[in-house]
Structure 1
Amino acid sequence: MKLVLAEKPSVAMSLSKVIGANQRGDGYMEGNGYIVSWCVGHLVELSQPEAYDEKYAKWRYDDLPILPEHWQYQVSTSTKKQFGILKKLMLRKDVKSLICATDAGREGELIFRLVYHQCGCKKPVERLWISSMEDSAIREGFQKLRPGTEYDALYEAALCRERADWIVGINATRLFSCLYGQTLNVGRVMTPTLAMVVMRDAAIRAFKPEPFYSAELKFRDFQAGGERMKEKAEAEKLVAECCQAGSAIITKVEQKEKSEKPPALFDLTSLQREANRQLGFTAQQTLDYTQALYEKKLVTYPRTDSRYLTDDMAPLVPELVSVIQQSFQIQPDVPAPVNAAQVINSKKVTDHHAIIPTKTAAGHDISSLPSGEQAILIMLAVRLICAVGTPCRYAETIVEAECAGQKFRTKGKTVTDMGWRQYAGRSSEDAEKNAEACNLPELSEGMTLELAGVDLKEGKTSPPKRFTEDLLLSAMESASSDEFPAGVERKGIGTPATRAAIIEKLVQKGFIERRGDKKTKYLCSTDKGNALVTVVPEQIQSPSMTADWEEKLLKIEHGEYDSDAFMGEISSMVNGLVKTYEAVKGADVLMQPERKVIGSCPACGSDVCETVKGWFCRDKSCKFALWKENRFFQTLGKQMTEELAKQLVNQGKARLTHCYSRKSNRYYDTTVRVETGEDGAAAFKLEFGGKK
């Protein structure tokens, strides 16, 4: 009998169906020589500092740094029952070996190994490594099981990542919290990410727009612009001279045939960026939707950093493109060309290939999916068709004219072959590009053209753009990339699998907030975030050091770097930080911003004010509170944000969309109402179509 351990119940059920384990037990499936069970997230986690010594239960500066010699683990309180089931199954005498079938990546390996070791299991292990949940992929994976020892280095890297985050998070958070008298969460990746947002906002605040001026010549069929000038009088003088001249001479007509290559397939980060740009989805929403599609067998594994397919997939591409094009009605009357070689490159695939729809998706009723999943699936289908297409070809014409001794310039663009773009649709970004280039009449050098008019154009220099999730993900991905040698496999901070969670944690902890309209949300630093970055030393907030750690973790994963050396670097850095850091003078003023009032308490009428941990009634005898880490909303897959708190306080209710049900593995919309008891304590109720 073989024990198969999956990461989630839904995945376990899919595996059970394929391998014939159809008999249900308490927390597992059994049959055909297999037992299939599952974890529920991280069943086993690192112990808190007080497990090493009771004195660590209180946060004291004198107890730092906390650097465990022998790491301790504990079973998560919420998952003890399932852990007990797994331990019994592992110890069953008829179970001769195990199959690790958790997600095929660093975190999936960690989840399995921690449970395996915590149970004291010594039985041999094989590894199931698949990139699709389709039945055919599962069968093939079970036929090609690999020895678990081949993934020891992956486990080692996962351990280093987890323990490094613990050491930096525990020590730095306690250090700054003790010195500044309030909870200041610090993280190995979280704080450098916050620093990028804070620095961008500071640059925007410090930016002083400067006016500029230019003259624009107007001809019968087009316009041509001159150079920018700082002085308005100088531009006005040029306008007057051009008006007096009355005509311009064409001095240059340059025509070039250009082409735009098809886009690459999506990895997780590029998919998150595109979904944020086009649909306004957060990075976490995109990951959740794509993970749900993966578990429904409709797309391949989402947590990938590759944008290519493996060489052995080349024969499968033409048929997949054909069925996806017809099923999703992507220009169905214009059969898409299939240049498979453009998306095939095994050398650029690490653990998993790019995210693509599966053949199962072609036969699925897409209308039955939640709207968010539909949008992501369509985006993936369109990208597959475009990626194997032909280049978009166009003719670009650059024209220069001379008037009153000055040069004026314009550009024209004519598409000669739409290529892959005929399947892509039009985005706002395309519209902006096309607006910059107009169709030009036939022109030749030496022509003299009469002016229809001359305009004075005024403008101002623009500040740096605020971070959207699209731009922040890009910044995280490329952070300090110029400091790495060419050919380095992964640059930046965080990984495709963790960046969304980092952004969400920064929002949850109140360091950044989302502002803007429904579709375009900007990530802005809060007073708390600004204060933290002001007092945290460069070594903690440096993207370059964190990016260097990420690269070393990848080398550990490949067996090219010593894990003990990496952990030694982390411990040495934290030890030095604790011993040498001194509190910034005057920071107490920075750390205590004026409390923001969001409304009147629904229980007693006093002001409801924001604090570090939530929104509370100013009257201390009243128990009304909306905690930022609110368990009720966390079970819905939501967080208590300022906007949500305002609605609950001022309207007594709020509309929630894209709530997640773990039980049914589906998303839904609902209305939440807040009610208060005699002591003012808040209670929440959900309403569906008017029913509670």
Structure 2
Amino acid sequence: MPLNNNVRKVTSENYPTDSGREGELIFRLVYQQAECKKPFSRLWLSSMEENAIREGFAHLKPSTEYDALYNAALCRERADWMVGINASRLFSCLYGQPLAVGRVMTPVLAMTVVREAAIAAFTPEKFYTVDLELTSGCTASSRRIPEKSVAENLLKACRKEMVATIQRITRKEKSENPPPLYDLTTLQRDANRLLGYSAQQTLDYVQSLYEKKLTTYPRTDSCYITDDDEEMLEELTEELEGFLDITSADVDEAVPRTRRTVNREKVTDHHAILPTRSMLQADLDALPKGEQNVLKLIIARTLMAVSKPFRYLETLLTTECAGEEFTAKGKEILEEGWKAVERKVLADILNRKQELTALPNVAENECGILNAELKEGQTSPPKHFTEDTLLHAMETTSADSMPEGVERQGIGTPATRAATIEKLVQKGFLERKGTKKNKVLLPTDKGKALITVMPEEIQSPEMTADWETKLLRIERSEMEPGEFMTEINTMITELVKNTEMKKGANALMKNKIIGVCPNCGANVVEREKGWFCENRECRFVLWKDNAFFKRLGKRLDAHVADKLLRDGRVRLKDCKSAKGKTYNATVLLSCEADGRSKFSLEFEGGC
């Protein structure tokens, strides 16, 4: 092999694979496959800037420092493989169809199914409030009243009195500290909430920015920097303020306060995501729009994290009328602090005005009532998961049940959570619904059916989160790899030995019928990779990854498959020729002699 030949020529090796658990695993597996015995050192990088690379080569690390990291990666790989291959085959055999089961994937799916069940079971309850418009210039509201008749009686009494007594005026100065620097999950959540990007899109954008030397290493789970990086951050924030024209005239609150971003104990492999100095000289207008937006979020968060707190005065007004208490709240900005940076840098992304209502100055005495009004409301169900909220749930699952001080309390890692969500969507267990900025993640019927037949140990988020914590302990040499793998082996053995098919589950596990086979007349059902004839003797299939449609610049999706099976044809607009020109055509479906699908094109005026 050429690899072996190259290995023989060197006396030692330096490996620069991705600076993380999986990057460590990739090199070690290649090293073993090449049967190499040469000494090797680790090049550990948090930035692709030239000075960072030179610094890395000047301080190469002994490979032994990363043996525990490799052990954790190897345990993760083996655990995923063992759970996946055994559980997938077990449930596929039990229910007579391909079912994908994963150590991380299945608990995440279970979380969405449980959420949808809670929404479906929720019964809204009506409540009523009485609002008083006071002559002092504010509106005070009663408590929530479950019975309409009680609320109506209160309304009548207030309208009769038309005077409220101001009992208390409480003013309290409050503040909101700046948000921390970004780790990957927090960046993905903000990009989804503010821009509508999926977790995978954000990871792709920030990975590209890293490779272009515009940001530091993206797959980090830390929101902090170390003491060694503090001076660098101070200089960077000063340069960023000049770069963005944030001056004392614009934002006098934007004063660097880097100490709160420093916490060596909370920095593991990599510090928080930061822009680089190379970014200051780059042509940012040449970047794709998605990368521009993600970079803007990172720049804004860096400046916000070192700015002053947002300070405001909160006023609580308590009044009494007809024997009932009414309250009004107001806020008045004292110092905008980090919110001034957010407003200036992210104005086009946030697209909203800050709306704070200050209460007028009033004294503790009687106040006239201009109007009294009855309002009806109802309790709200839990909300569907978005990628933002699902990422948060994955990150914090079982935090309440874990011992205090345990750092990794969630499912997956920052580097794998996006891929987990994408895999669930690709396999048809989850689907995205809604507008670009308001997409929700919903379990499909197939996803709900899978969780229905899964035993608790496979779908439990708590167990998976516990495994993640143990992998972190292996990474820190606090747990032996063999102990972890024994636990996985025991769980798999018990699962295979004790799991039986659930009665009535076959009805849940049936594939969706989308049409009739044009070759033999049997049902055509949707599966992971395409639409298949249920007749095992028939070779008819419509592949989702379809070469014919790819040549036209199109996708064979469920709508197109339905039209082809129903009508034998589908009209397509803006197909692309080999020369890049666009045209309209009709795709015709027929069958080969052996039953396989065959496509042809028909144009206006004939074939």
2:269 pairs with 1:354: no
Matches of 2:56 and 2:195, distance apart in 1: 35
Alpha-carbon shift at residue 409 of structure 1 (Å): 0.9
Asked if the contact 1:647–1:654 (Cα under 8 Å) also holds between the matched residues in 2, the reply is no
2:213 pairs with 1:292: no
SS in structure 2 of the partner of residue 523 of structure 1: strand
Alpha-carbon shift at residue 329 of structure 1 (Å): 4.6
- Code of the aligned partner of 1:438: T
Asked if the contact 1:633–1:640 (Cα under 8 Å) also holds between the matched residues in 2, the reply is yes
SS in structure 2 of the partner of residue 194 of structure 1: helix
- Code of the aligned partner of 1:652: L
Number of the residue aligned with 1:453: 371
Matches of 1:387 and 1:507, distance apart in 2: 34
Matches of 1:343 and 1:361, distance apart in 2: 21
In structure 2, do the counterparts of structure 1 residues 651 and 678 end up closer, same or farther at CA, with 3 Å as the change threshold? Answer: closer
Alignment equivalent of 2:113, drawn from 187, 190, 198: 198
Alignment equivalent of 2:46, drawn from 131, 136, 142: 131
- Code of the aligned partner of 1:448: E
Deviations 1:383-405 (A, max 9, x none): 11111001111111011111110
In structure 2, do the counterparts of structure 1 residues 651 and 156 end up closer, same or farther at CA, with 3 Å as the change threshold? Answer: farther
Alpha-carbon shift at residue 167 of structure 1 (Å): 0.5
Matches of 2:12 and 2:549, distance apart in 1: 40
Q: TM-score, normalised by structure 2?
A: 0.88
Number of the residue aligned with 2:73: 158
Alignment equivalent of 2:231, drawn from 276, 300, 315: 315
SS in structure 1 of the partner of residue 317 of structure 2: strand
Within-5 A mapping of 1:546-557: 546-557=464-475
Alignment equivalent of 1:324, drawn from 240, 243, 248: 240
Number of the residue aligned with 1:238: 154
Number of the residue aligned with 2:357: 438
Matches of 2:574 and 2:23, distance apart in 1: 36
Matches of 2:335 and 2:600, distance apart in 1: 58
Within-5 A mapping of 1:489-638: 489-592=407-510, 594-596=512-514, 611-616=526-531, 625-627=542-544
Alpha-carbon shift at residue 610 of structure 1 (Å): 5.3
Alpha-carbon shift at residue 410 of structure 1 (Å): 1.2
- Code of the aligned partner of 1:584: K
Matches of 1:454 and 1:577, distance apart in 2: 64
Asked if the contact 2:446–2:509 (Cα under 8 Å) also holds between the matched residues in 1, the reply is yes
Alpha-carbon shift at residue 343 of structure 1 (Å): 1.1
Alpha-carbon shift at residue 624 of structure 1 (Å): 6.2
SS in structure 2 of the partner of residue 652 of structure 1: strand
Number of the residue aligned with 2:579: none
Matches of 1:158 and 1:442, distance apart in 2: 62
Number of the residue aligned with 2:572: 652
Within-5 A mapping of 1:161-176: 161-176=76-91
Asked if the contact 1:609–1:615 (Cα under 8 Å) also holds between the matched residues in 2, the reply is no
SS in structure 1 of the partner of residue 513 of structure 2: coil
Alignment equivalent of 2:145, drawn from 218, 229, 238: 229
Alignment equivalent of 1:97, drawn from 12, 18, 42: 12
Alpha-carbon shift at residue 613 of structure 1 (Å): 2.4
In structure 2, do the counterparts of structure 1 residues 173 and 441 end up closer, same or farther at CA, with 3 Å as the change threshold? Answer: same
The CA RMSD measured in Å over matched residues stands at 3.2
Count of aligned positions: 578
Asked if the contact 1:328–1:362 (Cα under 8 Å) also holds between the matched residues in 2, the reply is no
- Code of the aligned partner of 1:189: V
Matches of 1:225 and 1:195, distance apart in 2: 40
Matches of 1:647 and 1:449, distance apart in 2: 69
Number of the residue aligned with 1:271: 187
Matches of 1:386 and 1:646, distance apart in 2: 51
Matches of 1:471 and 1:251, distance apart in 2: 41
Asked if the contact 1:626–1:682 (Cα under 8 Å) also holds between the matched residues in 2, the reply is no
Matches of 2:72 and 2:479, distance apart in 1: 10
| Structure 1, unpaired ranges of 5+ | 1-83, 657-669, 686-692
- Code of the aligned partner of 2:368: E
Asked if the contact 1:512–1:525 (Cα under 8 Å) also holds between the matched residues in 2, the reply is yes
Alpha-carbon shift at residue 328 of structure 1 (Å): 4.0
Alignment equivalent of 1:282, drawn from 190, 193, 198: 198
| Structure 2, unpaired ranges of 5+ | 577-581, 602-607
Matches of 2:109 and 2:306, distance apart in 1: 38
Asked if the contact 2:548–2:599 (Cα under 8 Å) also holds between the matched residues in 1, the reply is no
Alignment equivalent of 2:33, drawn from 112, 118, 121: 118
In structure 2, do the counterparts of structure 1 residues 681 and 363 end up closer, same or farther at CA, with 3 Å as the change threshold? Answer: farther
Matches of 1:673 and 1:609, distance apart in 2: 25
- Code of the aligned partner of 1:185: A
Alignment equivalent of 2:381, drawn from 448, 463, 477: 463
Matches of 1:268 and 1:275, distance apart in 2: 11
Deviations 1:33-81 (A, max 9, x none): xxxxxxxxxxxxxxxxxxxxxxxxxxxxxxxxxxxxxxxxxxxxxxxxx
Number of the residue aligned with 1:376: 294
- Code of the aligned partner of 1:290: V
In structure 2, do the counterparts of structure 1 residues 569 and 342 end up closer, same or farther at CA, with 3 Å as the change threshold? Answer: same
Number of the residue aligned with 1:88: 5
- Code of the aligned partner of 2:57: F
In structure 2, do the counterparts of structure 1 residues 672 and 519 end up closer, same or farther at CA, with 3 Å as the change threshold? Answer: farther
Indicate the larger mover: 373-382 or 417-426: 417-426
In structure 2, do the counterparts of structure 1 residues 372 and 609 end up closer, same or farther at CA, with 3 Å as the change threshold? Answer: farther
2:401 pairs with 1:483: yes
Deviations 1:321-372 (A, max 9, x none): 1222333455695363111112122121000000010000111111111111
Matches of 2:78 and 2:209, distance apart in 1: 31
Alpha-carbon shift at residue 85 of structure 1 (Å): 4.1
Deviations 1:556-614 (A, max 9, x none): 111110101100100100100111111110111111165256xx99x99x999651224
- Code of the aligned partner of 1:295: E
- Code of the aligned partner of 2:322: A
Alignment equivalent of 2:104, drawn from 159, 173, 189: 189
Number of the residue aligned with 2:323: 405
Asked if the contact 2:524–2:534 (Cα under 8 Å) also holds between the matched residues in 1, the reply is no
Asked if the contact 1:128–1:142 (Cα under 8 Å) also holds between the matched residues in 2, the reply is yes
